Amino acid sequence: MEDTETLYAPRAGVRHPPQRHDSPPDSNGAVTAPGRRRMLHAAKARDDTRAGRTVSGRFGRLESRRRGRAGMSAATAAGRLGGNQTQISNIEAGRHGVSADRVRTLARLYSCGDQDYIDALVAMTGARTRGWWEEYRELLPVGLLDLAEVEHHATYVRVANMVPIPGLLQTAEHARVVFSAGIPQLAPYEVEHRVSHRIKRQAILHGDTPTRLTAIIHEAALHMGYGSSTVVRGQLQHLIDMGERENITIVVIPFGAGPLPGSGQSVDYLGGSVRQLDTVQLDSDHGNQLLDAEAHLVNYRSVLDRMESYALTPTASRDLIHRIAQSI
């Protein structure tokens, strides 16, 4: 497998889309010093706004639901806070961050007595920092960046895939074949940006406090010919190696297991520090979708539980992967 460190940033030497200047050049075609300063200032403002956008958006939706359950209008909430309705609207739309004190004030206002939940919300609002995924802001669809941000904050991850192999467990070579086969076809530099982004997402599985991962993989994914026999064997061996890590559990649903809930759909369940902060990610040809409504969370927990009940044990799954690898 390619060294992950070489894939941790957009690749040097790979052609990028043309860059746009926000300030007109001088007569020699160079951007003037005042123009450069304006560009840097504008870029910093954009970065400050974008940092933690998924976190702030999630917080805003949670606050909107809490206000609704409290039977309080935005105007009433704003009045009790000594502000105006626009401030409440901006918070609930994820446009503005909030302080820890404001989080606690809102909790009292909406009669929320769950201290663990309040503490988790405080931690969430303090997470508005520029993550590594922002390097890809102009290079990849925003949904991929949002997924990386949610994964970064997750305490555990459960995934279920029919095909292909889950992204968090793909080798660079396997991922490159997957992205190259997409429709519409991606340019080579677009493929490389997606590969490097995918490999960097996998950092959550390593380090001093690695995220727990349970991967439910259908046997069909193990037989798919993504790339040469060398690439396929390398991917299967990578699954075996990753399954040896204490924080990773890999189980396989064998052929003949019968009809499965959610057949054909990839599901990622990303656990928050409290259950109210869990998120579901659904992958499709039209891009990924993040869901966090309680009804969705309950439904997909049941879907994953049912799918896992059809799977072999981790030991039997490893043996099956090994037999398939030897047969290639």
pLDDT in tens, 38-78: 444 444 434 433 444 566 677 778 788 888 888 888 888 88
Tell me: do 119 and 144 sit in the same domain. no
pTM over 0.95: no
Expressed as residue numbers, the domain containing 239 is 133-327
Euclidean distance between CA atoms 288 and 201, whole angstroms: 15
Tell me: do 120 and 171 sit in the same domain. no
The CATH number given to whatever domain includes residue 246 is: 3.30.870
Q: What DSSP character marks residue 189?
A: H
Determine the number of helices (DSSP H) and then strands (DSSP E) in the chain.
13, 6
Over residues 245-271, mean pLDDT: 89
**Of 81, 109, 125, which residue is a domain's last?**
125
Euclidean distance between CA atoms 230 and 251, whole angstroms: 23
The CATH number given to whatever domain includes residue 81 is: 1.10.260.40
Tell me: do 157 and 276 sit in the same domain. yes
In a domain, 169, yes or no: yes
- pLDDT category at 302 given cuts 50, 70, 90 is very high
Is the CB of residue 208 less than 8 Å from the CB of residue 171? no
Tell me: do 143 and 219 sit in the same domain. yes
pLDDT at 55: 64
Is the CB of residue 139 less than 8 Å from the CB of residue 130? no
pLDDT at 50: 42
Tell me: do 290 and 170 sit in the same domain. yes
Tell me: do 231 and 87 sit in the same domain. no
pLDDT in tens, 103-135: 888 888 888 888 888 888 888 776 556 789 999
Total tally of structural domains belonging to the chain:
2
Buried b (16+ CB within 10 A) or exposed e, 252-290: bbeeeeeebbbeeebbbbbbbbbebbbbbbbbeeeebeb
How much of the chain is in helix, strand and coil states, percent to nearest 5? Answer: 55, 10, 35
Q: What DSSP character marks residue 271?
A: E
In a domain, 2, yes or no: no
pLDDT at 106: 86
Tell me: do 170 and 314 sit in the same domain. yes
pLDDT at 281 over 50: yes
* Residue at token pair 């991922």: 175
Tell me: do 242 and 172 sit in the same domain. yes
Question: Is 126 exposed, middle or buried (CB count within 10 Å of its CB: 0-12, 13-18, 19+)?
Answer: middle
Is the CB of residue 214 less than 8 Å from the CB of residue 249? yes
pLDDT at 157 over 70: yes
pLDDT in tens, 189-221: 999 999 999 999 999 999 999 999 999 999 999
